[in-house]
Chain A
Amino acid sequence: DGGITQSPKYLFRKEGQNVTLSCEQNLNHDAMYWYRQDPGQGLRLIYYSQIVNDFQKGDIAEGYSVSREKKESFPLTVTSAQKNPTAFYLCASIARGGVEGASYNEQFFGPGTRLTVL
Protein backbone atom coordinates (compact mmCIF):
# COMPACT_ATOMS: atom_id res chain seq x y z
CA ASP A 1 0.00 0.00 0.00
CA GLY A 2 1.21 3.51 -0.79
CA GLY A 3 1.48 6.06 1.94
CA ILE A 4 3.57 8.26 4.19
CA THR A 5 5.26 6.95 7.30
CA GLN A 6 6.70 8.96 10.14
CA SER A 7 8.80 7.55 12.91
CA PRO A 8 8.88 7.45 15.78
CA LYS A 9 5.33 8.21 16.93
CA TYR A 10 6.57 9.60 20.26
CA LEU A 11 10.00 11.07 20.85
CA PHE A 12 11.60 12.41 23.97
CA ARG A 13 14.68 14.59 23.97
CA LYS A 14 16.83 16.20 26.57
CA GLU A 15 17.52 19.89 26.29
CA GLY A 16 20.58 20.63 24.19
CA GLN A 17 20.30 17.51 22.05
CA ASN A 18 19.63 17.35 18.34
CA VAL A 19 17.01 14.88 17.16
CA THR A 20 15.96 13.70 13.69
CA LEU A 21 12.38 12.91 12.70
CA SER A 22 11.89 10.50 9.83
CA CYS A 23 9.45 10.93 6.94
CA GLU A 24 9.23 8.40 4.11
CA GLN A 25 6.76 8.15 1.23
CA ASN A 26 6.31 5.51 -1.47
CA LEU A 27 3.79 7.53 -3.48
CA ASN A 28 6.36 8.83 -5.98
CA HIS A 29 5.44 12.39 -4.99
CA ASP A 30 7.83 15.17 -5.90
CA ALA A 31 7.03 17.65 -3.15
CA MET A 32 7.33 17.06 0.57
CA TYR A 33 6.58 19.32 3.53
CA TRP A 34 7.14 19.57 7.28
CA TYR A 35 4.61 21.27 9.55
CA ARG A 36 4.56 22.00 13.23
CA GLN A 37 1.33 21.99 15.24
CA ASP A 38 1.03 23.37 18.75
CA PRO A 39 -1.97 22.53 20.99
CA GLY A 40 -5.20 24.04 19.73
CA GLN A 41 -3.50 25.74 16.83
CA GLY A 42 -3.16 25.37 13.10
CA LEU A 43 -0.25 24.03 11.12
CA ARG A 44 2.81 26.14 10.48
CA LEU A 45 5.23 25.35 7.67
CA ILE A 46 8.82 24.61 8.67
CA TYR A 47 10.49 23.52 5.41
CA TYR A 48 9.41 22.21 2.05
CA SER A 49 11.03 20.57 -0.94
CA GLN A 50 9.66 20.42 -4.45
CA ILE A 51 12.46 18.31 -5.94
CA VAL A 52 15.39 16.20 -4.81
CA ASN A 53 18.42 18.14 -3.56
CA ASP A 54 16.42 21.34 -3.21
CA PHE A 55 14.41 22.75 -0.30
CA GLN A 56 13.09 26.09 0.94
CA LYS A 57 12.45 27.60 4.34
CA GLY A 58 8.90 27.95 5.50
CA ASP A 59 7.56 30.37 8.09
CA ILE A 60 9.33 28.94 11.17
CA ALA A 61 12.59 27.41 9.89
CA GLU A 62 14.85 28.73 12.66
CA GLY A 63 16.30 25.91 14.73
CA TYR A 64 15.42 23.24 12.16
CA SER A 65 17.28 21.65 9.26
CA VAL A 66 16.33 19.24 6.49
CA SER A 67 17.83 17.24 3.65
CA ARG A 68 16.35 15.78 0.48
CA GLU A 69 18.85 13.31 -0.93
CA LYS A 70 16.20 10.87 -2.12
CA LYS A 71 12.75 11.47 -3.57
CA GLU A 72 11.07 9.26 -0.99
CA SER A 73 12.75 10.67 2.11
CA PHE A 74 12.65 14.10 3.81
CA PRO A 75 14.09 13.93 7.35
CA LEU A 76 13.76 16.87 9.74
CA THR A 77 16.40 17.63 12.37
CA VAL A 78 15.37 19.63 15.39
CA THR A 79 18.52 21.29 16.65
CA SER A 80 19.41 22.60 20.08
CA ALA A 81 18.91 26.09 18.64
CA GLN A 82 15.13 25.54 18.53
CA LYS A 83 14.00 27.24 21.72
CA ASN A 84 10.65 25.54 22.16
CA PRO A 85 10.65 22.28 20.23
CA THR A 86 7.89 20.45 22.12
CA ALA A 87 5.12 20.05 19.54
CA PHE A 88 3.40 17.70 17.12
CA TYR A 89 5.19 17.39 13.78
CA LEU A 90 3.45 16.43 10.58
CA CYS A 91 5.02 15.45 7.28
CA ALA A 92 3.13 15.67 4.01
CA SER A 93 3.68 14.94 0.35
CA ILE A 94 1.79 16.16 -2.65
CA ALA A 95 0.38 14.55 -5.77
CA ARG A 96 -0.35 16.19 -9.04
CA GLY A 97 -3.06 14.70 -11.17
CA GLY A 98 -5.07 15.52 -14.22
CA VAL A 99 -8.57 14.79 -15.37
CA GLU A 100 -9.53 15.81 -18.87
CA GLY A 101 -6.74 18.33 -19.04
CA ALA A 102 -7.42 19.84 -15.66
CA SER A 103 -4.93 19.50 -12.86
CA TYR A 104 -5.42 19.26 -9.16
CA ASN A 105 -3.18 19.04 -6.18
CA GLU A 106 -3.74 16.96 -3.12
CA GLN A 107 -1.70 16.56 -0.01
CA PHE A 108 -1.28 13.36 1.94
CA PHE A 109 -0.24 13.53 5.55
CA GLY A 110 1.72 11.13 7.70
CA PRO A 111 0.47 10.12 11.17
CA GLY A 112 2.77 12.61 12.92
CA THR A 113 5.47 12.55 15.60
CA ARG A 114 4.93 13.96 19.05
CA LEU A 115 8.22 15.47 20.29
CA THR A 116 8.65 16.27 23.96
CA VAL A 117 11.70 18.00 25.40
CA LEU A 118 12.43 16.96 28.95
Chain B
Amino acid sequence: AQTVTQSQPEMSVQEAETVTLSCTYDTSESNYYLFWYKQPPSRQMILVIRQEAYKQQNATENRFSVNFQKAAKSFSLKISDSQLGDTAMYFCAFMKPLRTSGSRLTFGEGTQLTVNP
Protein backbone atom coordinates (compact mmCIF):
# COMPACT_ATOMS: atom_id res chain seq x y z
CA ALA B 1 0.00 0.00 0.00
CA GLN B 2 1.09 3.52 -0.71
CA THR B 3 1.54 6.14 2.00
CA VAL B 4 1.95 9.90 1.76
CA THR B 5 3.50 11.97 4.54
CA GLN B 6 3.38 15.72 5.02
CA SER B 7 5.53 16.58 8.00
CA GLN B 8 4.52 20.24 8.32
CA PRO B 9 1.01 20.62 9.79
CA GLU B 10 1.19 24.42 9.60
CA MET B 11 3.32 26.99 7.83
CA SER B 12 3.21 30.72 7.40
CA VAL B 13 4.86 33.11 4.97
CA GLN B 14 4.89 36.81 4.31
CA GLU B 15 3.16 38.08 1.22
CA ALA B 16 5.47 38.14 -1.85
CA GLU B 17 7.92 35.70 -0.30
CA THR B 18 8.62 32.10 -1.29
CA VAL B 19 7.58 29.04 0.67
CA THR B 20 8.21 25.31 0.20
CA LEU B 21 5.87 22.58 1.40
CA SER B 22 7.29 19.10 1.92
CA CYS B 23 5.88 15.73 0.93
CA THR B 24 7.34 12.24 0.96
CA TYR B 25 5.71 9.04 -0.18
CA ASP B 26 6.32 5.34 -0.10
CA THR B 27 5.57 2.99 -2.98
CA SER B 28 6.98 0.04 -4.85
CA GLU B 29 5.41 1.19 -8.11
CA SER B 30 7.54 2.58 -10.92
CA ASN B 31 4.78 4.40 -12.79
CA TYR B 32 2.53 6.76 -10.88
CA TYR B 33 1.29 10.31 -10.57
CA LEU B 34 1.75 12.91 -7.86
CA PHE B 35 -0.48 15.87 -7.19
CA TRP B 36 -0.74 18.93 -5.01
CA TYR B 37 -4.25 20.05 -4.18
CA LYS B 38 -5.35 23.26 -2.52
CA GLN B 39 -8.40 23.44 -0.27
CA PRO B 40 -9.42 27.00 0.66
CA PRO B 41 -11.98 27.76 3.37
CA SER B 42 -14.76 27.02 0.85
CA ARG B 43 -13.51 23.39 1.06
CA GLN B 44 -13.52 23.00 -2.73
CA MET B 45 -10.56 20.86 -3.76
CA ILE B 46 -8.52 22.57 -6.46
CA LEU B 47 -5.74 20.89 -8.40
CA VAL B 48 -2.57 22.99 -8.18
CA ILE B 49 -0.01 20.92 -10.04
CA ARG B 50 0.56 17.41 -11.37
CA GLN B 51 3.73 15.37 -11.95
CA GLU B 52 4.10 12.13 -13.88
CA ALA B 53 6.74 9.85 -12.36
CA TYR B 54 8.25 8.95 -15.73
CA LYS B 55 9.05 12.59 -16.45
CA GLN B 56 12.36 13.82 -15.07
CA GLN B 57 11.50 17.46 -15.64
CA ASN B 58 9.84 19.15 -12.69
CA ALA B 59 6.34 20.45 -13.34
CA THR B 60 5.63 24.19 -13.14
CA GLU B 61 2.38 26.17 -13.21
CA ASN B 62 2.91 29.90 -13.02
CA ARG B 63 4.02 30.64 -9.43
CA PHE B 64 3.86 26.98 -8.42
CA SER B 65 6.64 24.49 -9.06
CA VAL B 66 7.68 21.14 -7.69
CA ASN B 67 10.95 19.48 -6.80
CA PHE B 68 10.42 15.84 -7.69
CA GLN B 69 13.13 13.48 -6.43
CA LYS B 70 12.04 10.00 -7.49
CA ALA B 71 14.86 8.07 -5.83
CA ALA B 72 14.29 9.88 -2.55
CA LYS B 73 10.48 9.62 -2.98
CA SER B 74 10.15 13.31 -2.32
CA PHE B 75 7.72 15.77 -3.93
CA SER B 76 7.89 19.30 -2.54
CA LEU B 77 5.83 22.29 -3.66
CA LYS B 78 7.35 25.74 -4.02
CA ILE B 79 5.10 28.77 -4.09
CA SER B 80 6.80 31.92 -5.33
CA ASP B 81 5.57 35.47 -4.78
CA SER B 82 3.02 34.28 -2.22
CA GLN B 83 -0.38 35.96 -2.34
CA LEU B 84 -3.08 36.29 0.30
CA GLY B 85 -5.30 34.05 -1.82
CA ASP B 86 -2.80 31.22 -1.42
CA THR B 87 -3.93 30.81 2.17
CA ALA B 88 -5.40 27.30 2.26
CA MET B 89 -4.84 23.71 3.26
CA TYR B 90 -2.50 21.99 0.83
CA PHE B 91 -2.63 18.25 0.25
CA CYS B 92 -0.06 16.06 -1.44
CA ALA B 93 -1.49 12.99 -3.17
CA PHE B 94 -0.30 9.84 -4.92
CA MET B 95 -2.03 7.74 -7.55
CA LYS B 96 -1.30 4.70 -9.67
CA PRO B 97 -2.46 4.96 -13.29
CA LEU B 98 -6.17 4.53 -13.90
CA ARG B 99 -7.10 0.96 -14.86
CA THR B 100 -4.25 -0.35 -12.74
CA SER B 101 -5.60 -2.68 -10.10
CA GLY B 102 -6.47 -0.70 -7.00
CA SER B 103 -5.92 2.69 -8.64
CA ARG B 104 -6.95 5.34 -6.12
CA LEU B 105 -5.83 8.70 -4.81
CA THR B 106 -3.99 8.56 -1.48
CA PHE B 107 -3.68 11.84 0.42
CA GLY B 108 -1.29 13.18 3.00
CA GLU B 109 -2.59 14.80 6.16
CA GLY B 110 -2.24 18.29 4.76
CA THR B 111 -0.30 21.49 5.49
CA GLN B 112 -2.20 24.61 6.52
CA LEU B 113 -0.51 27.54 4.82
CA THR B 114 -1.18 31.08 5.97
CA VAL B 115 0.04 34.03 3.93
CA ASN B 116 0.44 37.13 6.07
CA PRO B 117 0.13 40.69 4.72
Contact residues of A with B, CB < 8 Å? 30-31, 33, 35, 37, 40-45, 48, 50, 56, 58, 88, 90, 92, 94, 96, 102-107, 109, 111-112
Contacts and interface: CB of A to CB of B under 8 A. Distances in A.
Contacts of B52: 102, 104
A55 to B, nearest CB: 12
Given A30-B98, A50-B98, A50-B99, A43 B50 contact: no
B97 A103 contact: yes
Nearest to B33: A105
| Interface bracket on B | 20 to 34
A58 B44 contact: no
B109 interface: yes
B44 A107 contact: no
Interface of chain A, main secondary structure: strand
A109 B98 contact: no
Q: Which of A30, A48, A50 has the most CB of B within 10 A?
A: A50
B68 interface: no
Contacts of A109: 44-45
A42 B110 contact: yes
16 contacts: A40-B110, A42-B108, A42-B109, A42-B110, A43-B91, A50-B103, A56-B102, A90-B45, A92-B45, A92-B105, A105-B97, A105-B98, A105-B103, A106-B47, A107-B35, A109-B45
Given A43-B91, A105-B98, A112-B44, A48 B50 contact: no
Interface in B69-108: 91, 95, 97-99, 102-108
A105 B95 contact: yes
Contacts of B33: 104-105
B77 to A, nearest CB: 15
B44 A31 contact: no
